[in-house]
Amino acid sequence: MQASSPDQYHLTIKELPADERPREKLRLRGASALTSAELLAILLNSGTRGETVIEVAQRLLVEHDGLTGLVRADFEELCQTRGLGEAKVSRLLATMELARRISAAQPQDRPQIKSPEDIYLLLGSEMAVLEQEQLRVVLLDTKNRVSRIVTVYQGSVNSAQVRVAELFRDAVRATAPAIMLVHNHPSGDPEPSRADALVTRDAVQAGELLGIEVIDHIVIGDGRFQSLRRAGMGFS
């Protein structure tokens, strides 16, 4: 598909008030005032036939389960997305890699995980209100500082559906020495289930083979949490 010109980008959002157009909004209010879709729209620069650039950006986020999933997508996968060509994909991946390098260059600013309470402070308030279960993997460096947090599953988190390879995919790519598993119970009760223990056991065993330590598996509920390591579930 032939890429649209920069002028066409302006035409696709001409109905928006000037201070709501992504570029103008950034100039007037600063980058922090923009939504993720608006920031992506600036990178994409143009929409497609029948879709404004903001609509393309919103669709991209939905199809990849948000920014976390977008970061995990590779070049070929993104190029298969309607409305994205190699130039747009290159801009997206280059921007995300720069963000990753900036984060990695300032390890002292990243939170350090010394206890399950630290993970709960980091993710508890956000994950407690999710309407669906999410399983996230927290990548840690040699000093247990958070390198990245990736969402690997959304829906029912059980041993029949969770593929252990998915839990370690990003850790292997980033050569992370340790990870923590975190998921929520939408019911509000953080009591670990038998399925939670089985997922943990399988992850611990796989981590031993890969040389990646699974430090803990935290279950977040409504205003409280449970540590499977402390409960002796899944850890020998």
* 178 — pLDDT class (breaks 50, 70, 90): very high
Q: Distance between the two ends of the chain, CA-based, in angstroms?
A: 55
* 205 — pLDDT class (breaks 50, 70, 90): very high
Per DSSP, the three-state class of 46 is coil
Per DSSP, the three-state class of 80 is coil
pLDDT tens-digit series, residues 139-165: 999 999 998 888 888 876 655 577 889
CATH code assigned at 70: 1.10.150
- Least trusted range by pLDDT, from 32-46, 95-109, 153-167: 95-109
Same domain (yes/no): 124, 201: yes
Domain count of the chain? 2
The answer to whether 183 touches 146, Cβ cutoff 8 Å, is no
Amino acid identity for residue 84 in this structure: L
DSSP assignment, residue 186?
A: T
Last residue of some domain: 61, 88, 104?
104
- Report pLDDT for 3: 44
* 7 — pLDDT class (breaks 50, 70, 90): very low
- Report pLDDT for 185: 94
| 65 Rama sector, left if φ>0, alpha if ψ -120 to 50, beta otherwise | left
Q: Do β-strands 213-220 and 178-184 pair in parallel, antiparallel, or remain unpaired? A: parallel
- Least trusted range by pLDDT, from 2-6, 47-51, 146-150, 217-221: 2-6
- Residue 236 placed within a domain: no
Same domain (yes/no): 135, 192: yes
Mean pLDDT of 207-234: 95
Last residue of some domain: 104, 120, 146?
104
- Residue 53 placed within a domain: yes
The answer to whether 109 touches 147, Cβ cutoff 8 Å, is no
CATH code assigned at 135: 3.40.140.10
Same domain (yes/no): 132, 69: no
Confirm whether pTM is higher than 0.75.
no
Per DSSP, the three-state class of 85 is coil
Per-residue tokens: 193 = 């289930």
* 74 — pLDDT class (breaks 50, 70, 90): confident
> Which residues span the domain enclosing 114?
109-231
What residues pair up with 148 in beta bridges, in sequence order?
139
Same domain (yes/no): 156, 56: no
